[in-house]
Amino acid sequence: LPTHYQLPSGDRIPSVALGVWKAGKGEVGTAVKACNNPNTRRLVAYSTDRQHLSPATVILTNEEEVGQAIRESGITRSDIWLTSKLWNNFHAPEDVESALDDSLNKLGTEYLDLYLMHWPIAFEKEPGPDGNSIYAENLSENPYPTWQKLEEMVEKGKVRNIGISNFNIRRIQNLTANPLKVQPAVNQVELNFWNPQPELVKWSKENGLLLEAYSPLGSNNQVGNTLRIPEVKNIADKLGITPAQAVISWHVQRGTIVLPKSVTPSRIEENLQVTALPQDLFEKLEAAAAAHPPQRVVNPSKSWGLNFDVFEY
């Protein structure tokens, strides 16, 4: 299975990387350091955690800790893949660069390997009393002005690749219908056994857009069930690997990047070891995933007060 995928920029992105969303304070550093594995040389990718400070803005909470851990580990910057995201209240073109600069400062780095538009939805810059619900309609349907600013950040060398997150096919097409200077490198979405999104996977493959799987083992409360799926256990038994490795290998074999979150060093190590699955076992797991109604866990549409489902519309 591929250890890396090539992006339009020519950069090679690791196929499996560490996600640190929801990693608690004090845990992030341990996790980042555990990724400094000279055997795999597939180091950290990193997804931001968010804290909602009512009524103030949303801040990305673990960037400082990630930055500190990287410095303490002595890892060479070029050996790490660093990803961060632009939060929804900084979509206005004049706000993009300062949001990015803030991330760069906190991480203590000159550049990001990948910067993602976190959601296709823009908020007003100053959130309402609940921190979220105010929603700037005029920006929501047109991500292109934000994207143009992101392209400028590539030109300036502050980010090497730019991408999107939580975009459905209609929204991707809405963006890529514009004369883009830089194509989206990836689309980061929820992908797991319970929400396998075969149509999005197929469309993305046909259109040359890499997908990154967040919550690849299922969301927190699904992980136990994921690791007990008969098809997963069967693969693990036959190949002498762990159920988590079977699932992560399935993702890579589907052609996606996988971001398993863990703060446990032994699991981080475990999760980086992927193995090609025999085609029949791969197909059985794929069929089992498609055989039940999809259960998406991450969907903030209601909590944001949208009158539509951000994934459906």
Q: Is the separation of the CB atoms in 6 and 43 below 8 Å?
A: no
Which of 173, 264, 295, 303 is the binder for ligand A2P (CB under 6 A)? 264
Taking CB under 6 A as the rule, does residue 274 contact ligand A2P? no
Q: Toward ligand A2P, which CB reaches closer, 140 or 215? A: 215
Smallest gap from Cβ 170 to ligand A2P, in A, equals: 26
| Site pattern 81..110 for ligand A2P (x: CB under 6 A) | ------------------------------
Of 33, 71, 67, 8, give the one whose Cα is nearest residue 210.
Answer: 8
Taking CB under 6 A as the rule, does residue 223 contact ligand A2P? yes
Which of 260, 281, 286, 289 is the binder for ligand A2P (CB under 6 A)? 260
DSSP 79-140: G---EEEE-GGG-SHHHHHHHHHHHHHHHT-S-BSEEEE--S-PBPSS--TTSS--B-HHHH
User: Which residues neighbour 17 within 8 Å (Cβ) at sequence distance 6 or greater?
Assistant: 42, 43, 44, 45, 46, 81, 83, 257, 258, 259
Residue type at position 191: L
3-state class (DSSP) for residue 211: strand
Q: Is the separation of the CB atoms in 18 and 60 below 8 Å?
A: no
Smallest gap from Cβ 217 to ligand A2P, in A, equals: 5
Taking CB under 6 A as the rule, does residue 271 contact ligand A2P? yes
Taking CB under 6 A as the rule, does residue 58 contact ligand A2P? no
Which of 178, 220, 225, 303 is the binder for ligand A2P (CB under 6 A)? 220
Taking CB under 6 A as the rule, does residue 48 contact ligand A2P? no
Smallest gap from Cβ 247 to ligand A2P, in A, equals: 9
Which of 4, 50, 205, 267 is the binder for ligand A2P (CB under 6 A)? 267
Backbone angles phi, psi at 47, to 5 degrees: -120, 140
* Long-range pairs of 48-52 with CB within 8 A, sequence gap ≥ 24: 48/21, 48/84, 48/85, 48/103, 49/20, 49/21, 49/22, 49/23, 50/87, 52/131, 52/132
Smallest gap from Cβ 89 to ligand A2P, in A, equals: 23
Interface size with ligand A2P, residues (CB under 6 A): 16
Which of 244, 257, 258, 274 is the binder for ligand A2P (CB under 6 A)? 244
Taking CB under 6 A as the rule, does residue 295 contact ligand A2P? no
Taking CB under 6 A as the rule, does residue 219 contact ligand A2P? yes
Q: Which 8-state DSSP code applies to residue 194?
A: T
Q: Toward ligand A2P, which CB reaches closer, 19 or 127? A: 19
Taking CB under 6 A as the rule, does residue 225 contact ligand A2P? no
Taking CB under 6 A as the rule, does residue 22 contact ligand A2P? yes
3-state class (DSSP) for residue 165: strand
- Residues at the interface with ligand A2P (CB under 6 A): 21-22, 215, 217, 219-220, 223, 244, 260-264, 267, 270-271
